[in-house]
Chains A and B, each alone.
Chain A
Amino acid sequence: MSDLSFKNIVDQYNELLTRTAKYDYFVRDAQIQKMTIEELKSRIAVLKGFKRQARERNDEEAANAFLHMQCVLYSRISSLSMWIELKRHKFHRAWDHLIDAQEYLAYAKRASSKGFGIDDLVAKLVKVEQGIFPGFPLYNSLGLTFKGGVCSVCGKKLEECEHIEEKIYYGVVCRRIRIESIDVDHTALVAEPKDRRCIISEVEDDNGEMRDYITWKVLRKKSTADDKGKIIRGVVYNSHDLDLS
C-alpha cells in the first residue's frame, strides 16, 4: 500500500469520526444513531481487510494503526449504543456499552500512539459516566480456575506459541480464547475489578426492600427466607468480549 493510499484511508477515517461525533449525544434521534452504527460497522469490516493486507506485507506498524482505528470506531459504536439503550431505559445494558467504549479506547491507545484526540474521547466518557450513572463503590470480582484455551493470534495452545497475552501482534491483541472449562473459586467485592461490567445490580435498603441500584426503583420486598443480613445481587461474570482480532 502506498503512503498516499494509507493517507486516503486515514482521511476517510477522520472524516467518519468527525461526522459521526455529532450523533454521539443522548438527545440525537435513535434511528439516526442506529444507521450510524451500521455505517461504522461497515467501515470496520473494510479496515479489517486493510489490516489483513498489512499483516500479509509484514507491515506491523500499519496493522497496528488499523487496529487503533478499529478500536476507536468500536468505541463510537459502543457510545452510540449506550445512548440508544438509555433512551430505551435499559440502563444496565447502557452501562456495559459505556465500559466497552472506555476499554476500546484503552486498546486504541496501546495499538498506536499516532492517533490524536483519544484523550478528549476518554475525558468525554468519564464525564458521561459521572453525570449519568450513580457511581459504583464496589464491584464483583471473581476468583476462578480454568483449563485450556488457545491463542487469539495463532490459534495454538497459549503454552505452545510465542505470543504473550495482552501484547499486540500485527493488529491483533493476544488473548486466551475458547477456554475449555471455567469454575468459580470465590467471589469478592472490590473497588477496582478487572471487569467493571460486574456491578452490584440490586441492593436491600433500610426498609428491607430490594432496589435496582441504578434506578433506585423498588423491585420487591425482601423474601422472609432471606432475612439474615443485607442482600445484594450483582453480575459476577460477563462472558462478553471485545473484538480485538
Chain B
Amino acid sequence: MNVEPEEVDLDYPIPQTDSAVFILPLAKSIEYKQKECVLYADTTPAMLKILRTNGIGTDLAYGNTDEIVYRENRSIDWFAPALLFVGTAISQNPDLVSITLNIISSYLYDIFKGKKDDPNVHCKFAVQAEGGEIKSIKYEGPVSGLMGISPIIQEMTK
C-alpha cells in the first residue's frame, strides 16, 4: 500500500453545482483525430454512476461527455479517475469520504469476483480545504486498504 501527496493542477473553475464530488480530467485539452477533446480515465462513467446511484452528487469537473476521449490502462489493476471532494460537502456530511470509499470498494469487489480477490487500485483524491486550497493524495494498493485512507482525506480538509 502506498499513499503519497500528489499535485493537482486545477487551472479551470470547478462548476458551481450542488455536487459533493467532481471527477477530474487527466488533461483538459488534447488533440484527438484533429479535434480538441478532454481526456478522462476510462473508468469515469462507472465512477459517475456508482456514486450518483448511491446518492452522492457527482459531476465532471471539466468538459461535457460529447468531447471526451478516454484513456485505458489494460492492466489487471483498476485505475480510478481522480476525485475532488468539495470541502463544504465534507463539513455538511462528515461521512461523505468513508461512504464514497465504501461504494468504490463494493463495486470493485463485485466486478473482480472470480478474477482477483483483492485487486490493486490506483486512485487520486483531492480536497478543497477550508481556505480554498486544493490538497491531494495518491493511493496505490489493494482495495482492502482503501477504507484506511479515509481519515487522511478527512484531515486534508483542515
Instruction: Name the residue in B37, B50, B114 with the highest tally of chain A Cβ atoms < 10 Å from its Cβ.
Output: B114
Interface size class of B (residues with CB under 8 A): 20 to 34
Nearest CB of B to A97, in Å: 18
- Select the stretch in B6-14, B41-49, B90-98, B142-150 that faces chain A: B41-49
- List B contacts of A167 (CB < 8 A): 110-111
Question: Residue of A at shortest CB range from B30?
Answer: A145
Contact between B49 and A141 (Cβ–Cβ < 8 Å)? Answer: no
Nearest CB of A to B49, in Å: 5
Interface of A is mostly: mixed
Contact between A144 and B71 (Cβ–Cβ < 8 Å)? Answer: yes
CB within 8 A of A192: which of B39, B76, B114? B76
- List B contacts of A109 (CB < 8 A): 113-114
Contact between B77 and A192 (Cβ–Cβ < 8 Å)? Answer: yes
- Select the stretch in A12-20, A33-41, A157-165, A205-213 that faces chain B: A157-165
- A159, B53: Cα distance in complex, Å: 14
- Select the stretch in B62-70, B81-89, B129-137 that faces chain A: B62-70
- A177, B6: Cα distance in complex, Å: 34
- List A contacts of B111 (CB < 8 A): 110, 165-167
- List B contacts of A160 (CB < 8 A): 65
- CB contact under 8 A between A193 and B69, given known A106-B113, A146-B42, A166-B111: no
Contact between A110 and B114 (Cβ–Cβ < 8 Å)? Answer: yes
Contact between B46 and A164 (Cβ–Cβ < 8 Å)? Answer: yes
Instruction: Give B residues with C-beta under 8 Å from A.
Output: 32-33, 37, 39, 42-43, 45-46, 49-50, 53, 65, 68-77, 107, 110-111, 113-115
Beyond A159-B65, A167-B110, A193-B76, 17 additional contacts (C-beta under 8 Å) are A105-B114, A106-B113, A110-B111, A122-B114, A143-B73, A144-B74, A145-B70, A146-B42, A147-B68, A162-B49, A164-B53, A164-B107, A165-B111, A192-B77, A194-B74, A194-B75, A194-B76
